Amino acid sequence: MVVALRQANNARRESMRLQEARLVDHKVSRRRECIEALGNLWGAITGMQMEFDAWTEYLEGLPPTFSLNAQRHPGGRGPTYEEKFREEIRKFSSKWQNTIEQPLFVALLVLRGTPLYEAVDALNNQINEIKNGGLEPIWAGLSTGHRPDTAPIKGDVGRREESRNEHLTLARQHCLTRKDVERSVWG
């Protein structure tokens, strides 16, 4: 009977040890998943920086005033200024959506319930402000035949870059190594 109790006790301890090991693996996997989601989001955002710079450079290179119906190229060939603007904004917006929206969506879902969620949600709000409000001054300038003021949207994008450092700091604070998790589980 003593042998049976000892074997049962050993089996229970081994079962608990396996459960603790699975918990450690889960926590480490979850941290990796969160870091990957955040990394993919920032990779997409920083990957759009050159596109954004090229787009605002195009806008800043426009003449101070112009006729929307005039053709940009001398000789009467090519699209009108208005057609060209619409196409450039469509291309940039499409590239933005295709590059940023999917990793942003994933990050918002994966990071929910973590210390990083609020920071990513705030970034989501900033991105929505850029998408929804940042283009308004651009369209206002273009629709009146004036070179648009790109300073507001550049400022919005610059403030978004400040979020990157905050996210990196948060990720460092909440990034656990396997050793950290094992220490917290096994004491």
Tens digits of per-residue pLDDT, 51-104? 999 999 999 998 898 888 876 666 667 788 888 888 988 898 899 889 999 999
- Stated as kind and residue range, the H or E segment containing 81 is helix 81-96
For residues 63 and 146, the answer to whether their CB atoms sit within 8 Å is no
Q: What would the pLDDT profile of 12-38 be if each residue is shown by its tens digit?
A: 777 777 777 677 666 777 888 888 888
Q: Collapse the DSSP code of 146 into the 3-class scheme (helix H, G, I; strand E, B; otherwise coil) and give the result.
A: strand
Q: How confident is the model at residue 42 (pLDDT cuts 50, 70, 90)?
A: confident
Measure the CA–CA gap between 109 and 115, rounded to whole angstroms. 13
For residues 151 and 133, the answer to whether their CB atoms sit within 8 Å is no
Q: How confident is the model at residue 135 (pLDDT cuts 50, 70, 90)?
A: confident
